[in-house]
Amino acid sequence: MIRFENVTKRYADGTTAVDNLSFEVAEGELVTLVGPSGCGKTTTMKMVNRLIEPTDGRIYVGGDDISATDPVELRRRIGYVIQQVGLFPHKTVLDNTATVPHLLGVKRAAARARAAELLELVGLDPSVHGGRYPEQLSGGQRQRVGVARALAADPPVLLMDEPFGAVDPVVREHLQNEFLALQKSVRKTVLFVTHDIEEAVRLGDRIAVYGQGTIEQFDAPAAVLGAPATPYVADFVGADRGLKRLSVTPIEPGDLEQPPVVHLDDPLPAELPGWAVVLDREEKLHGWISAEHAATAKGTVGEHARRMEARLPVGASLRQAFATMLQHDAGWIAVTDEDSTGRFLGVLTPARLHEALRRSTAADARDIPRDEVELETVSGR
């Protein structure tokens, strides 16, 4: 969808902001451009909608050379979200969101109806917020309006320049979660500029790590964290890149242990090896029971089972798993399937979490599936 071919941006004073850049962004892909201030990532993004013109090279959007496209028309079909949002202070939230469709000739009623749909999509009730002005909104709400406005003309490409950088960390994480959920439904082609490697890792399908005007590594987040291409990349992502990698490594069924299992209607077992997971008749997770409690009580398992708080669906990140263990002071967490049935799949222990991280790193380094990795252990040496 977006293709850079040998693109250079050189200013009159001799400064080279971007040097011979070539890369592609696939349709529906979210690519994060990350690097320190002044490295050329924002310049790269602004060349896509011709806010900055390249000195050399070609940029293509949807197969079209943008140098042959009218800049105004180009910008009206590319969504653009910036850190300070840039909402019109004299317009209501609804009219701000309807701006681009109205400029494209959509009738006012239809443009406002589309705006109302998008406000709902980003979590703002148009009946509550539509008639308000930007100054009446919180920073997070203004940012949501900015995203809705960028999507109003249903653009195939979305450019986002540090859109969540001006809000506090709690709101920022919430906005990131909302945007990921939104991207799953709208599947836009996104260039997302950030200086925060954790944000880049969390959001990007692929990451472009910038040096000075060049891309040092362009790869999946797990690969950037697990196998930095250069010493510069290793230094930029940090010595704690193993911890960051937890965020992009999902729990897989092969990571799980299979503990003893009992069911709600079973009589209490006379012996258990420590504890057992309690399931209902449909194999859904209900809770757990300890061997000590089972040995001293009477009745059925269901009468004495304890609620299981430490649980996650398969596919959740190892970071979520680790956080859940810490939150509940748990030595393991129960893992269920991803759909709404809640079918029990197994448990993830700290040892298995560590193994999963090692397998993921080795799989990327060797370019093989994770389940084909054989880990070397102390006893196996």
CA–CA separation, 44 vs 50, rounded Å?
Answer: 10
Write down the mean pLDDT value for the chain. Answer: 88
Q: What percent of the chain has pLDDT over 90?
A: 47
What's the rounded Cα separation, in Å, for the pair 109 and 114?
A: 9
pLDDT tens-digit series, residues 76-135: 889 988 876 678 889 999 999 998 888 888 898 898 998 998 898 888 899 999 999 989
Question: 71 with 33, same domain?
Answer: yes
- With beta carbons less than 8 A apart as the criterion, state whether 335 and 347 touch: yes
Same domain, residue pair 339 and 312: yes
- Residues 177, 132, single domain; the answer is yes
Given 244, 264, 281, the domain boundary residue is 244
Residue 378 lies in a domain: no
Domain that holds residue 87: 2-244
173: domain CATH number is 3.40.50.300
**What are the pLDDT digits (tens) for 248-291?**
889 999 999 999 999 998 888 877 778 889 999 888 998 888 88
Residue 162 tokens, joined? 């540090």
233 and 290 housed in the same domain? no
76 and 178 belong to one structural domain = yes
* The most confident of 55-64, 72-81, 178-187, by mean pLDDT: 55-64
| CA-to-CA dists, residue 53 to 30, 35, 43, 66, 71, angstroms | 23, 21, 9, 10, 10
Answer yes or no: is 377 within a domain. no
DSSP string of 180-247, one letter each residue: HHHHHHH--EEEEEES-HHHHHHH-SEEEEESSSSEEEEE-HHHHHHS-SSHHHHHHH-TTHHHHHGG
> Is residue 370 one of the residues assigned to a domain?
no
Which structure tokens are listed for 194?
A: 């950030």
Query: What proportion of the chain, given as a percentage, has pLDDT over 70?
Result: 97
CA distances from 46 to 9, 49, 67, 75, 176 (A): 11, 6, 13, 10, 22
Q: In this structure, what token pair is assigned to residue 62?
A: 């949807």
User: Within a domain: residue 376?
Assistant: no
Q: Same domain, yes or no, for 179 and 38?
A: yes
Query: What region, left, alpha or beta, does residue 74 occupy, with left being phi > 0 and alpha being psi -120 to 50 degrees?
Result: alpha
How many other β-carbons are positioned within 10 Å of the β-carbon of residue 308? 19
Q: Indicate whether 101 and 183 sit together in one domain.
A: yes
The answer to the question of residue 213 being in a domain is yes
Q: Tell me: do 199 and 326 sit in the same domain.
A: no
Closest by Cα among 189, 142, 147, 144 to 30: 189
**DSSP classification of residue 253:** G
Structure tokens at 224: 């950037």
Is 88 domain-assigned? yes
Task: Tell me the whole-structure pTM to 2 decimals.
Answer: 0.76
Average pLDDT for 198-204: 91
Residue 232 has pLDDT above 70, yes or no: yes
- The Cα–Cα gap between 110 and 133 comes to 21
Of 218, 244, 270, the position where a domain reaches its end is: 244
The tens digit of pLDDT for each residue in 132-177 reads 998 998 888 888 888 888 888 888 999 999 888 777 787 788 888 8
Of 333, 344, 262, 346, give the one whose Cα is nearest residue 304. Answer: 262
Of 189, 209, 244, the last residue of a domain is 244
With 90 as the cut, is the pLDDT of residue 19 above it? yes
The CATH number that applies at residue 261 is 3.10.580.10
Residue 20 has pLDDT above 50, yes or no: yes
Is 217 in the same domain as 295? no
On whether residue 369 sits in a domain, the answer given is: no
Residue 297 has pLDDT above 70, yes or no: yes
pLDDT in the model for residue 379 = 43
360 in any annotated domain: no
Q: Residues 66, 154: one domain? A: yes
pLDDT band at 381 (very low <50, low <70, confident <90, very high): very low
Most confident of 20-34, 77-91, 114-128, 336-350: 20-34
What is the model's pLDDT at position 122? 86
Q: What 8-state DSSP symbol labels residue 282?
A: T
Alpha-carbon distance of 310 to 300, in angstroms, equals: 23
The residue whose two tokens read 């897989």 is 252
Please give the Cα distance from 21 to 9 (Å, whole number).
9
Calculate ∠ Cα 325-331-333, nearest 5°. Answer: 60
Same domain, 237 and 305: no
At which residue do the structure tokens 């399937």 appear? 337
Which residue shows structure tokens 């992502």? 237
How many domains does the structure of the chain reveal? 2
Whether 234 and 257 map to the same domain: the answer is: no
